[in-house]
Amino acid sequence: MIYNIIGLMSGTSLDGLDIAYCQFNYENEKWSYKIIASKTYNYTQAWRSQLKTVEESSALEFIKTDAQLGHYFGEKVNSFIKEFNLNKKEIDAIASHGHTIFHQPNLGFSTQIGNGAQICATTALQTVVDFRSLDVALDGQGAPLVPIGDLLLFNEYDYCLNIGGIANISSQKNGQRIAKDITFANMIGNYLCEELNIPFDDKGRIASKGEADANLLNFLNNLTSIKNLNNRSLGKEIFIKNVKPYLDETSNSTKDKLHTLGKHIALKVKENVTSNSSLLITGGGAYNDFWIAEIEDKTKAKVTIPSPQIIEFKEALIFAFLGALRLQNTPNSLASVTGAKKDNIGGAVYVY
């Protein structure tokens, strides 16, 4: 069985919309994949500003943004198909993660905007969205969802670490896939870089020149003590309510804060991997040489940094894969990862 799926991923780092056209082959009870084409469409400053503050908007403005973002996603998919000269008739579906605004599974919801009906109508293609809601309804966290892709597509590694706005890690234990978000990463790094009027710390050059702040390091290392913070997934709300104010109040230089963040991320990875294990690192943080050096030093793991295409588009690839599993009517969310009552098949399907 072969599925051709366009995966869409918009992460908390607000870098842009990642689009990956992927082919999945299910043969002899094993999955294989290839990325046929991929591209990131950077958000305009207007979109970044809107997405950064949409949780503060009125209900009307929120719904309006959801619809507009879905139409925008659809337009970008159309541009992508044209740019890479793809045969539309061969595309089975679009699978969109959407852009997370609220993630409060303890209250029974996780909300991603980028309206699926708008994507479907704009592209004239079957569209799968809303991968998290069923898992949350089954008392799960609705996250992380990427680990099933780690299990079925990247199982040659002991651990798979993705360092995006939030860093998450997955591995196999006692015959089950386990995973969790371990800390805020680029969400903190990019926020700090706003103090320097730059989008991010390229290769961690600024962080490498700083010194660790013991108080900030202690605060970051003990984030799990924050009320309502669960041990599986993190939401933007925690960053806004707890982390951002602390960063604002800390008087240390930006380079020291960035340096401390790198130390913290490495320590959190160390807590979750065993020495001499194999560790695949993807996401934008894989380009931060300071973070990677710290991780290698602290964990003693055999770190693999894959090709730029996998670094940048692994999440889009895996959400395309979740779409393929949805079309196959196969579970795409693991209870062992999310804490749900059962493995489940998430995703609402819009048919053109």
**pTM for the full model?**
0.92
Q: Do residue 109 and residue 153 come from a single domain?
A: no
Q: Note the pLDDT of residue 230.
A: 57
How far is Cα 12 from Cα 15, in angstroms, rounded to an integer?
8
Together in a domain, 113 and 189: no
Q: 95 and 178 share a domain?
A: no
- Nearest alpha-carbon partner for 190 in 51, 39, 6: 51
Same domain, 88 and 49: yes
Both 118 and 223 in a single domain?
Answer: no
C-beta of residue 206 within 8 angstroms of C-beta of residue 223: no
d(CA 121, CA 322): 21
How far apart, in whole angstroms, are the C-alpha atoms of residue 130 and residue 114? 10
Looking at residue 204, the DSSP 8-state letter turns out to be: G
pLDDT at residue 272, as a whole number? 94
What pLDDT score does 232 carry? Answer: 73
Q: Do 319 and 236 sit in the same domain of this protein? A: no
| Contact by Cβ (8 Å): 213, 264 | no
Residues 193 and 298 in one domain: yes
Structural domain boundaries enclosing 162: 148-309
CB 153 within 8 A of CB 139: no
What are the residues whose beta carbons fall under 8 Å from the beta carbon of 244, sequence distance 6 or more?
A: 191
Domain count, the chain: 2
Closest CA to 232 of 344, 108, 338: 338
Task: Assign residue 229 the CATH number of its domain.
Answer: 3.30.420.40
Q: Are residues 305 and 319 in the same domain?
A: no
Residues 287 and 173 in one domain: yes
Compute the Cα dihedral for 310, 95, 113, 124 and give only its sign.
positive
Whether 38 and 131 map to the same domain: the answer is yes
* 111 and 241 together in one domain: no
- 303 shares a domain with 189: yes
Beta pairing partners, 96: 8
Q: What is the pLDDT along the chain (352 residues), one digit of tens a residue?
A: 999 999 999 987 788 999 999 999 999 999 999 999 999 999 999 999 999 999 999 999 999 999 999 999 999 999 999 999 999 999 999 999 999 999 999 999 999 999 999 999 999 999 999 999 999 999 999 999 999 999 999 999 999 999 999 999 999 999 999 999 999 999 999 999 999 999 999 999 999 999 999 999 999 999 876 655 556 788 888 899 999 999 999 999 999 999 999 999 999 999 999 988 999 999 999 999 999 999 999 999 999 999 999 999 999 999 999 999 999 999 999 999 999 999 999 999 999 9
116 exposure class (CB count in 10 Å sphere: 0-12, 13-18, 19+): buried
Residue 24 phi/psi, 5-degree rounding, is -120, 135
